[in-house]
């Protein structure tokens, strides 16, 4: 089995590649990643010499780069590559359209040319829009209604993926997952930003009243779900993933403050994000029933483990925060050539 994984030097993609090579020892993986600010070779430094792992630096929106990754054929493509941060999409939407929409189309077209290549397209709960406090969680039948430019670009890609499945009869499956947390998450996202700022004694910026709700899942539980979809998901279907762990942002920040034993005064309410979605929650019953998938970790355990991981991997996140991970990238990439 040869699987081409895109965005494999980012947070979820790197966790997925490590899990696949651990749990499916006879598979080969090609990682196609553009090494944007979010791509960090240190995330997979342990696999650099693994003969089952091949890295291709390239852009999913460039057909020639996609062709290089698919050289010799592929049984499946798992598309994690994306611009993934809502706040960046508010500042500038264009890179989100290029990677998330145009890039996804290039992968769908390349898979179509290959003939028998399964595509797993990784999407997000954010395509469904926001829930009110008493609304039931999103199901796969919930209408797509994105609010941020990030979510809109992901929704556009989802529509295209389903349209290719119907129009061309391609083997394409979509996963939509809630907010992930865990090792190797870029410290621009809520949980790693708060942990690392707290360790550094910096302020902890909570948007608005902090009473927004996200449904948190540990990245390894999400990766197990993606592997189940890759192996057993039905073509043309969407599968939701979540861990029934709805939490207020402010409560998560308070828990991090208490786990790290830092001063509560670091918490600072700042101006809210425009069009900030108030609540997300996922109904993952379809994945549980059809795929036999279940999240293995409670949020409290997963958060405590994650705080410990950042405490024990200070070199990793300090290099990201001070930008020196980019130098590591240059050395790493120049040694290998294009």
Q: What DSSP string runs through 269-331?
A: EEPPPTT---B--B--HHHHHHH-------HHHHHHHHHHHHHHTHHHHHHHHTTTHHHHHHH
CA trace torsion 237, 75, 31, 317 (10° rounding): 40
Task: Mark residues 159-188: x for contact with ligand TYD by CB under 6 A, - for none.
Answer: --------------------x---------
If contact means CB under 5 to 8 A according to the sort of partner, which of ligand TYD, ligand NAD, none does residue 255 touch? Answer: none
Residue 213 found at the interface with ligand NAD (CB under 6 A): no
The residue (of 84 and 245) whose beta carbon lies closer to ligand NAD is 84
- Mark 169-200 as b/e (b = at least 16 C-beta within 10 Å): ebbbbbbbbbbbbbbbbbbebbbbbbbbbbbe
Task: Mark residues 234-253: x for contact with ligand NAD by CB under 6 A, - for none.
Answer: --------------------
Using alpha carbons, list the distances in angstroms from residue 206 to 52, 250, 285: 42, 7, 32
Residue 206 found at the interface with ligand TYD (CB under 6 A): yes
Question: Which listed range, 35-43, 193-201, 245-253, 309-317, lies at the site for ligand NAD (CB under 6 A)?
Answer: 35-43
If contact means CB under 5 to 8 A according to the sort of partner, which of ligand TYD, ligand NAD, none does residue 59 touch? Answer: ligand NAD
Residue 31 found at the interface with ligand NAD (CB under 6 A): no
Q: What DSSP string runs through 207-276?
A: ETTS--EEE-EEHHHHHHHHHHHHHHPPTT-EEEE--S-EEEHHHHHHHHHHHHT--GGGEEEEPPPTT-
2 to 21, contacts with ligand NAD by CB under 6 A?
6-7, 9-13
Q: How many CB atoms lie within 10 A of CB 308?
A: 13
Q: How many CB atoms lie within 10 A of CB 223?
A: 23
Residue 321 found at the interface with ligand TYD (CB under 6 A): no
Give the contacts of 305 (CB within 8 A, at least 6 positions apart).
Answer: 182, 218, 297
The residue (of 54 and 189) whose beta carbon lies closer to ligand TYD is 189
278 to 317, contacts with ligand TYD by CB under 6 A?
none
Joined together, the tokens standing for residue 96 give 């989100």
To ligand NAD, the closest distance from the beta carbon of 208 in angstroms equals 20
Residue 60 found at the interface with ligand NAD (CB under 6 A): yes
Residue 123 found at the interface with ligand TYD (CB under 6 A): no
Residue 170 found at the interface with ligand NAD (CB under 6 A): no
Dist CA 227 CA 175 (whole Å): 11
Number of chain positions touching ligand TYD (CB under 6 A): 12
Residue 186 found at the interface with ligand NAD (CB under 6 A): yes
Is the distance from CB of 160 to CB of 105 less than 8 angstroms?
A: yes
Is the distance from CB of 139 to CB of 281 less than 8 angstroms?
A: no
Residue 14 found at the interface with ligand TYD (CB under 6 A): no
Residue 61 found at the interface with ligand NAD (CB under 6 A): yes
Residue 207 found at the interface with ligand TYD (CB under 6 A): yes
To ligand TYD, the closest distance from the beta carbon of 169 in angstroms equals 33
Dist CA 174 CA 231 (whole Å): 13
Binding residues vs ligand NAD (CB under 6 A): 6-7, 9-13, 32-36, 38-39, 59-61, 80-82, 84, 99, 103, 122, 124, 154, 177, 179-180, 186
Which residues would be at the binding site for ligand TYD (CB under 6 A)?
86, 179, 189-190, 193, 205-207, 212, 214, 249, 273
């Amino acid at each position: 089995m040869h699987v081409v994984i895109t965005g494999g030097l980012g947070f979820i993609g790197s966790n997925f590649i490590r899990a696949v090579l651990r749990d499916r020892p006879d598979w080969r993986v090609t990682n196609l990643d553009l090494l944007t600010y979010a791509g960090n070779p240190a995330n997979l430094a342990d696999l650099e010499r693994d003969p089952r792992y091949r890295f291709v630096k390239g852009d999913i929106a460039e057909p020639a780069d996609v062709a290089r990754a698919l050289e010799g054929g592929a049984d499946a493509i798992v598309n994690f590559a994306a611009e993934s941060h809502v706040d960046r999409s508010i500042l500038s939407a264009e890179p989100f359209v290029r990677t998330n929409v145009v890039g996804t189309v290039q992968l769908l077209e390349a898979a179509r040319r290959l003939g028998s290549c399964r595509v797993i397209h990784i999407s997000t709960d954010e395509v469904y829009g926001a829930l009110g406090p008493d609304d039931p969680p999103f199901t796969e039948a919930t209408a797509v209604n994105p609010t941020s430019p990030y979510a809109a670009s992901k929704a556009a890609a989802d529509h295209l993926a389903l349209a290719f499945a119907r129009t061309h009869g391609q083997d394409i499956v979509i996963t939509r997952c809630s907010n992930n947390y865990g090792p190797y998450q870029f410290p621009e996202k809520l949980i790693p930003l708060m942990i690392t700022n707290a360790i550094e004694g910096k302020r902890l910026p909570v948007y608005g009243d902090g009473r927004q709700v996200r449904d948190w899942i540990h990245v390894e539980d999400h990766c197990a779900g993606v592997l189940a979809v890759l192996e057993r998901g039905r073509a043309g279907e969407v599968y939701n993933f979540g861990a029934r762990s709805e939490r207020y942002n402010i409560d998560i920040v308070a828990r991090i403050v208490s786990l790290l034993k830092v001063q509560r005064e670091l918490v600072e309410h700042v101006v809210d994000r425009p069009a900030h979605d108030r609540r997300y929650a996922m109904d993952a019953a379809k994945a549980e029933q059809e795929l036999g998938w279940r999240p293995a970790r409670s949020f409290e355990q997963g958060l405590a483990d994650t705080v410990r991981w950042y405490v024990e991997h200070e070199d990793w996140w300090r290099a990201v925060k001070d930008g020196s991970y980019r130098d590591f990238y240059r050395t790493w990439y120049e040694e290998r050539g294009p």
